[in-house]
């Protein structure tokens, strides 16, 4: 049943359908980030249905620290705990270990680091990450990897990538073991491996070739959007994506802006996630087809139009720019919530437009139109 079906291509852009134990994902897809099993900005899983969300993403490390993956397992798994009936992807905790750089120590068996909440010592390796994700019972588990810093020396990068490959084999073996246990909630949990290598083209390509041999459910490109230029990122996609299996979904981790997504779709990427729409929304910044708006701006004080004319999100259906500006200025949580809902809806519907454009063989024209619109001031 675990299956990626390629429905149409337009150049290198791919329109696919990925069947999972928790339903079908139409790709390309933008996953909505709910790090601690909630979308920041007071957005509930009930809201996610309204704004066309297909996949929710949660974080292994954060949920392990609080409330504890053992608690979530006792509550019947993440789907039941947060009341979400569609696919959930959990990232492995590798990126958090990277971002807690001052608190960590990487060894072959795994990483020793201190909790960002109470400072207690935590050890996480491939087996621990798989066990936590199995307790969470997400649809798709990500392999435990090191996200190397940018810039890193070639020697550091090669050693890191080699270890990530060894860790991936351990993740696969542990996932197979866990999926066979009688008390595992999701016995069909899927595993995606992660290509690393920074901006070293040959390390990226060789790593892609090594991990594609493991025949995983999907493949991610990690370690981008950590400080390299957009041009460097697009070049790495140009050389890496063709080396990954074309009959499996390809996921660009942590990227990005609407512009980044359009460029990556053009290069054959299927899955995306990013905190931008929610984070920007919480600061009153709204994405629209005519560029980004700062709704705290005085010019919206008497503006009775919705954030975007013709937008069918919960904010635009009911409220004016002037009212949302007032809420933001008054530090009312509703202002932040409405902006986050609008932004996630913008991203989710952009992915629908992308899928329609690839289906129609008009992706290039769509991309050009969308980019030109968003560059308006």
CA–CA separation, 78 and 258 (whole Å): 29
pLDDT of residue 376: 78
How many residues are listed for the chain in this entry?
377
The fold of the 3-274 domain, in CATH, is TIM Barrel (3.20.20)
User: 176: how many CB neighbours lie within 10 A of its CB?
Assistant: 11
Single out the catalytic residue among 10, 47, 69, 91: 91
Cis (ω within 30 of 0) for the bond into 12? no
Give the pLDDT score at 284.
Answer: 98
Helix (H) or strand (E) holding 12: none
Q: Which residues in the chain belong to E strands, given as ranges? A: 3-10, 13-20, 23-27, 29-33, 56-59, 88-91, 104-106, 111-114, 121-124, 140-142, 190-195, 218-221, 250-252, 271-273, 285-288, 291-294
Structure tokens at 124: 């996480």
pTM equals 0.97
* 91 carries an active-site annotation: yes
| Residue 273: active-site member | yes
pLDDT for the residue 96: 79
Domain boundaries, the chain: 3-274, 281-374
Rama region for 187: left / alpha / beta (φ>0; ψ in -120 to 50; rest): alpha
Residue 113's alpha-carbon distances to 148, 234, 363, in angstroms, are 16, 33, 45
For each successive 10 residues of the chain (377 residues), what is the average pLDDT?
88 98 98 93 97 97 95 98 98 79 80 87 93 98 92 96 97 98 98 97 98 98 93 98 98 96 98 97 98 98 98 98 98 98 98 98 98 87
């Amino acid at each position: 049943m675990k299956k990626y079906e390629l429905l149409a291509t337009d150049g290198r852009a791919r329109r696919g359908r990925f069947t999972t134990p928790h339903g079908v994902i139409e790709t390309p897809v933008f996953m909505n980030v709910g790090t601690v099993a909630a979308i920041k900005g007071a957005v509930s899983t009930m809201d996610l249905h309204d704004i066309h969300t297909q996949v929710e993403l949660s974080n292994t490390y954060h949920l392990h620290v609080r409330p504890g993956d053992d608690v979530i397992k006792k509550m019947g798994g993440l789907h039941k705990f947060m009341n979400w009936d569609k696919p959930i992807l959990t990232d492995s905790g590798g990126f958090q270990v990277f971002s807690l750089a001052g608190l960590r120590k990487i060894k072959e068996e795994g990483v020793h680091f201190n909790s960002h909440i109470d400072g207690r010592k935590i050890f996480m390796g491939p087996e621990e990450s798989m066990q936590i994700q199995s307790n969470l019972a997400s649809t798709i588990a990500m392999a435990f990897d090191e996200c190397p810093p940018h810039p890193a020396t070639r020697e550091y990068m090669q050693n890191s990538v080699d270890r990530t490959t060894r860790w991936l084999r351990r993740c696969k073996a542990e996932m197979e073991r866990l999926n066979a246990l009688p008390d595992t909630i999701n016995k069909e949990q899927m595993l995606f491996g992660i290509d690393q290598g920074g901006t070293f083209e040959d390390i990226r390509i060789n790593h892609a070739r090594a991990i594609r041999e493991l025949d995983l459910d999907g493949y991610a490109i990690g370690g981008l959007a950590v400080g390299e230029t957009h041009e460097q990122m697009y070049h790495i996609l140009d050389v890496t994506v063709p080396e990954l299996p074309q009959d499996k979904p390809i996921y660009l981790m942590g990227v990005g802006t609407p512009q980044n997504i359009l460029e990556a779709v053009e290069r054959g990427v299927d899955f995306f996630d990013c905190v931008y729409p929610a984070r920007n929304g919480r600061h009153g910044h709204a994405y629209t087809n005519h560029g980004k708006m700062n709704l705290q701006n005085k010019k919206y004080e008497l503006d009775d139009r919705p954030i975007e004319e013709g937008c069918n999100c919960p904010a635009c259906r009911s409220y004016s720019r002037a009212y949302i500006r007032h809420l933001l200025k008054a530090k009312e949580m509703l202002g932040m919530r409405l902006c986050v809902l609008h932004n996630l809806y913008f991203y989710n519907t952009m992915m629908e437009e992308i899928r329609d454009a690839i289906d129609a063989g008009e992706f290039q024209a769509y991309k050009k139109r969308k980019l030109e619109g968003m560059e308006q001031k």
